[in-house]
Amino acid sequence: MHPDPRVIAVIPARGGSKGLPGKNLAEVGGVPLVTRAVRSALAARRIDAVLVSTDDDRIAEVAQAAGAGVVRRPADLAGDTASSESALLHALHSVAAHTGARPEVLVFVQATSPFLDPAALDLAVERVQRGDEDVVFSAVASHVFLWRETADGAVGVNHEASARPRRQDREPEYAETGAFYVMRADGFVQSGHRFFGRVGIAPVDPAHAIEIDDAGDLGRARLLAPAVDALAANGDPRHPIVDVDAVVTDFDGVHTDDTAWVDTLGRESVRVSRSDGAGVARLRAAGVPVLILSAEANPVVARRAEKLGVECLHGVDAKGEALAEWAETRGISLDRIAYVGNDRNDLPALDLVGWPVAVRDAVPDVLAAARHVLDRTGGHGAVRELADLVIASRDHAARHLAALEPDTTNHHHHHARASAR
């Protein structure tokens, strides 16, 4: 264990499970669930120590082999009615008793979520360490209309049945995934509960947000594992495959560091990054449309877009509407667009696209809405970083298709022969 762990991850993994016996040792992608959880937590740069709390000898053995420390959980905290909170409190008390360490941040990780992204863990820890929130938990955005059955028939839960607004006109709601909860350790000990103080949401990839409760969940996870694991093995999971057909960016705070110089005549000037310009050039060369969409009316925005050779809409108040219209005019699906922003007026556009992206120094609401947060800040290469991700995804797709082509051809020939018989 780290000699002075400031951030500690605890993975509760008891031996008994009525819904799915042996659940925490069930294999997904050939790897036990508890091992997958340990590996993900160890890969997060901001986590200093990883512990597995268990009452089971085999789980303890597997956890230690994966690189985790083990906290032996007493029988009265390992039954069906024992709460996760009780296991977390016991782990914290055990660490304090044996090492004297009192971590600042507690990361509660559930082994039943097999596709944990270490980058998502890091971002959530960073938000708590920064003081943005006291608790940050993983969730997926949803625009689903919910219903409840009553004695008088079905009724809408989150909507009026007589008024069904379009997706882009509805604020998203969030479904808790159960994958992770990051919290101030002292606040958790005082409250005895994982939700206290200011609570924030960490959106995660909906395609990977599986929580395994039964055999059906396990089967779906096993089907997904080859694709998810291959993607992670292709490169650093902190640098995802951003597969899109267009890139749209805010200007101030994205192409710039959100500051401006004003001369004695009241004329403004801004600082931009040559690296970002090179990134935009790479996108253009690859045939990826780029749009600068800005609320700023200053002509400097249009001049910069002209210099870069990209489209520009500036002085725009309703960014969501403007983006939707631009995408429809060009026949580009909103799900196939990456939008990068930094402030609250970007939220309507971020909510519409398949890849909402935030610069590192974005406001908390934008960080919460982002599917990916860039390593770089606005005006310091953030646009170039996104461009490189998009280009890398295209290169990856080309290699993947090339590798599949012989198999695909053979499969078609085999199918034709089978049909002939």
Residue 403 located in a structural domain: no
Contact between 239 and 392 under an 8 Å Cβ cutoff? The reply is yes
376/359 Cα distance (integer angstroms) = 6
CA proximity to 134, closest of 92, 178, 190, 81: 190
Residues 206 and 313 in one domain: no
A 10 A CB-CB count for 389 gives: 23
| Cα radius of gyration rounded to whole Å, the chain | 24
Range of the domain at 283: 246-394
Are 228 and 109 spatial neighbours (Cβ–Cβ below 8 Å)? no
Q: Are residues 157 and 279 in the same domain?
A: no
Q: Is 189 left (phi over 0), alpha (psi -120 to 50) or beta?
A: alpha
- Same domain flag for 312 and 224: no
CA dihedral 7, 51, 87, 202 (to 10 degrees): 50
134 in Cβ contact with 183 (< 8 Å): yes
Q: Are residues 160 and 60 in the same domain?
A: yes
CATH code of the domain in which 282 resides:
3.40.50.1000
Shared-domain flag, residues 53 and 192: yes
CA-closest candidate to residue 112, choices 9, 217, 219: 217
Q: How many domains does the chain have?
A: 2
SS3 assignment, position 9: strand
In DSSP terms, 138 is beta-bridged to 202
Let me know whether 126 and 64 are in one domain.
yes
In a domain, 1, yes or no: no
For 118, residues 6+ apart whose C-beta sits below 8 A from its C-beta are 40, 41, 43, 44, 45, 237, 238
Cα(172)–Cα(328) distance, integer angstroms:
22
- Among all chains, which residue has been given the structure tokens 């089978």? 418
To which H or E segment does residue 225 belong? helix 215-233
Spatial separation of the C-alpha atoms in residues 237 and 338, rounded to whole Å? 18
Residue from 130, 156, 132 nearest 145 by CA? 156
Q: Examine residue 418 and state whether it is found in any structural domain, yes or no.
A: no
Helix 33-43 and helix 57-66, axial crossing angle in degrees, nearest 10: 30
Read off the pLDDT of residues 150-182 as tens digits, 9 standing for 90 and up. Answer: 998 998 888 887 888 777 677 788 899 999 999
DSSP state of 270: -
- The answer on 297 and 166 residing in a single domain is no
Residues 111 and 209 in one domain: yes
Rounding to the nearest 10 degrees, give the CA dihedral for residues 342, 343, 346, 351.
80
Residue 316 contacts residue 294 (beta carbons within 8 Å):
yes
Between CA 352 and CA 197, with CA 360 as vertex, the angle to 5 degrees is 85
**Structure tokens that stand for 219 in this block:** 């089967």
Q: Are residues 126 and 154 in the same domain?
A: yes
Task: Tell me whether residue 354 is in a domain.
Answer: yes
Hey, which bits of 261-366 come out as E strands? 261-262, 268-269, 290-294, 311-314, 337-341, 355-358
> 60 and 154 share a domain?
yes
Output the tens digit of pLDDT for each of the chain's 421 residues: 555 678 999 999 988 776 677 889 999 998 999 999 999 999 888 899 999 999 899 999 999 988 899 999 887 776 776 788 989 999 999 888 877 778 999 999 999 999 998 888 988 999 999 898 999 999 988 888 889 999 989 988 888 878 887 776 777 888 999 999 999 999 999 999 999 999 999 888 887 788 998 899 999 999 988 877 776 655 444 556 688 999 999 999 999 998 888 878 777 788 888 889 999 999 999 999 999 999 988 889 999 999 999 999 999 999 999 999 999 999 999 989 999 999 999 999 999 998 999 998 999 889 988 888 888 899 999 999 999 889 877 765 554 444 434 443 344 443 333 333 3
Q: What is the pLDDT of residues 412-421, one digit of tens each?
A: 443 333 333 3
pLDDT for the residue 259: 84
Cα dihedral 377, 380, 383, 387, rounded to 10, equals -110
Does residue 35 belong to any structural domain of this protein? yes
Q: Is residue 421 part of a domain?
A: no
In a domain, 414, yes or no: no
* Whether residue 185 is found in the same domain as residue 327: no
Q: Flag whether 283 is in a domain.
A: yes
Mark whether 198 and 63 lie in a shared domain. yes
Domain boundary among 233, 265, 300: 233
What is the rounded distance in angstroms from the CA atom of residue 93 to the CA atom of residue 74? 13
- CATH of residue 89: 3.90.550.10
- Helix H or strand E encompassing 383: helix 382-420
